[in-house]
Amino acid sequence: MTVPHAIILGILQGLTEFLPVSSSGHLVIAQHYLTGFNQPGILFDVMFHMGTLFAVLIYYKKDIFLILKSIFDGFHVRRGYKDKDCDIYRSQRRFALLIVVGTLPTIAVGFLFRDHVGILFDSVKFTASMLIVTGILLAFADRIKVKKRDVKALTLKDSLLIGFVQGLSITPGISRSGSTIATGLFRGIDGEEAARFSFLLSIPAILGATALEIPEILHIKAGDILACTIGTFTAMITGILAIRFFIRILKQQKLRYFAYYCWGLGSMVILLNFLS
């Protein structure tokens, strides 16, 4: 892979991983219609996902710090922390527990359906259909007008359901961020809080996928180091910008714009597939 290809794929990964338009769906469509385009090998795929992982870690660094501190600082009461600080730590530990609980159904669904889903990546028509489904989810979520709950009101049931939906998003065309955040909105969770939980919930999933491919990273060829590094950095920077932009859209309650995009792209691909 050349450096220009790595930059293009890094931008594509950074944008579509966090914007609710399905990164896997875009790769399937690009591979089908763009002459000479091939999905990156396992090594590059892992590195690009590491770039988006770094984006989450950087954007939510304060939240992650508080969560880790609340877990490892088990003697904060004895050290003279104020009651307010203790409440913050309890809240963060509970949030960490919810992330762990939400990760469990993701792992279960991933292992159960991983082999069956692989064949779907060869079907551009199916992928386009799932993009339309993603658009429907976003459109309905955008119309939710119920009173929103903050993260303190997030329940184990919420966490399990969102984690289950995250597992289903291995299907090409189903956006991980779009489906999980839409599920949070359907459950009455505030949009920004739903996004925060969704993006932090992605950390264990990306770490797990990366851990499985460590042997590939260790066998990186000297000629691929530059392209991998630049692609990873590009995905990270683009990912941070995408998160900021998406949070702004959520605050303005304009998810329907992404729904229009998914419907348009999905419909165009189905039409082209029908005419070809």
- The pTM assigned to this predicted structure is 0.86
Q: Give yes or no for a contact between 203 and 50, defined as CB atoms under 8 angstroms apart.
A: no
Give residues with Cβ within 8 angstroms of 242, minimum separation 6.
14, 15, 17, 18, 19, 55
Residue 168's Cβ-count burial label (10 Å; 0-12, 13-18, 19+) is: middle
Domains contained in the chain, number:
1
By three-state DSSP, how is residue 37 classified?
coil
Distances 23 to 10, 12, 234, 259, 262 between C-alpha atoms, Å: 11, 7, 15, 15, 12
Structure tokens given for 29? 């469509």
231 Cα distance to chain centroid: 18
pLDDT of residue 38: 61
Cα separation, 64 vs 49, whole angstroms: 19
Residue 102's pLDDT is 92
Residues in the chain: 276
pLDDT of residue 161: 94
Per-residue pLDDT at 116: 74
How far is 28 from 56, CA to CA, in rounded Å?
24
| Cα(20)–Cα(17) distance, integer angstroms | 8
**Ranges of residues in the chain whose predicted pLDDT is under 50:** 75, 77-78
In Å, how far from its chain's centre is CA 108?
17
| pLDDT number for residue 26 | 87
pLDDT for 113 equals: 77
Can you tell me the distance from the alpha carbon of 262 to that of 209, in angstroms, rounded to the nearest whole number?
26
Closest alpha carbon to 64 in 255, 200, 235, 258: 200
Range of the domain at 220: 3-275
- Give the pLDDT of residue 85: 56
Question: E strands along the chain, which residues?
Answer: none
pLDDT digits (tens, 9 = 90+) for 110-119: 778 777 777 8
**Sign for the pseudo-dihedral over CA of 11, 13, 18, 23:** positive
pLDDT digits (tens, 9 = 90+) for 229-258: 898 999 999 999 999 999 999 888 889 999
Find out whether 133 and 179 touch, Cβ atoms under 8 Å.
no
